[in-house]
Copies of this chain bind each other. A is one copy, B any other.
Amino acid sequence: MTTPKFAQIKQFIVDNIRSGAWLENQRVASENELAEQFSVSRMTARRALSELTEAGILTRSQGLGTFVASFKSQSSLLEIKNIADEVKARNGNYSCTVLVLESISAVAPIAIALGVEVDSVVYRSVLVHNENEQPLQVEERFVNPALATSYLQQDFTALTPHEYLSSVAPLTEARHTVEAIMPNSEMCQWLNLYHEEPCLQVIRRTWSSSGIVSFARLVSPGSKYRLGGHLTFKK
């Protein structure tokens, strides 16, 4: 099985950039030039350039040409993965225990974060995600009851809250912040921490088309959990 022509051209371009032969903002061959060099049609050469542009490796300007993108503008990205998948990926034994599953009256900060009236009823759950029976992450979640009416009836040891919520209210947007915090005594108990240690806290708010679905706080001990990211030219 041969590699497609457009993929060969992409590889040729990426190799030249990776090796340093083509520098930032340098002009690369036009569609017609590439088409002739590789004996392909313009549309095939175009596909290679377009896909590398979409990937952020090249920039194009109508009338001017195609250029090597400047690395400076590339922001580095970190992934937040599903913690159950992460544990399973490293052959850990994943389990989950439900600590709290209740409906409460929303105090002001919670109500604002969920976009509901103060003192209205919202659902709250607290789960502990375990790796090999040791607490790895505490998930405290506040849910807009209008968008997930039967939230309290779910079995979250089988399906995570995030998975359940995406099935009942299609997610359209999510926002995250990550910070370093010191856990309070309640959190220390949940995480089974004997001595205080800094924790990574991820705040995630998710939207669907009908409004804010939920507001989650994910807290993990700094000694056991970290976020990883990877940025490369390879494609």
Contacts and interface: CB of A to CB of B under 8 A. Distances in A.
Contacts of A174: 76, 230-232
B178 A209 contact: no
B175 A78 contact: no
Given A222-B179, A231-B174, A209 B20 contact: yes
A71 B171 contact: yes
Interface of A: 17-20, 23-24, 51, 54, 70-72, 75-82, 162-163, 166-167, 169-182, 197-201, 204, 208-210, 222, 225-234
Contact of A222 (B163, B181, B208): B181
Contacts of A179: 200, 222, 225-227
A226 B177 contact: yes
Contacts of A173: 230-234
8 closest cross-chain pairs (CB), A and B: A198-B198, A180-B222, A78-B78, A180-B180, A176-B229, A179-B226, A180-B198, A76-B80
A18 B172 contact: yes
A170 B180 CA distance: 32
A2 to B, nearest CB: 16
A230 to B, nearest CB: 5
A178 B176 CA distance: 14
A173 B57 CA distance: 12
Contact of A78 (B24, B54, B176): B176
5 contacts: A51-B54, A71-B166, A75-B79, A76-B79, A178-B200
Contacts of A23: 170
Given A72-B162, A77-B80, 18 more contacts: A23-B170, A24-B170, A71-B170, A72-B82, A77-B79, A78-B227, A80-B229, A172-B232, A172-B233, A173-B234, A174-B230, A175-B229, A176-B229, A178-B226, A178-B227, A180-B180, A180-B198, A182-B197
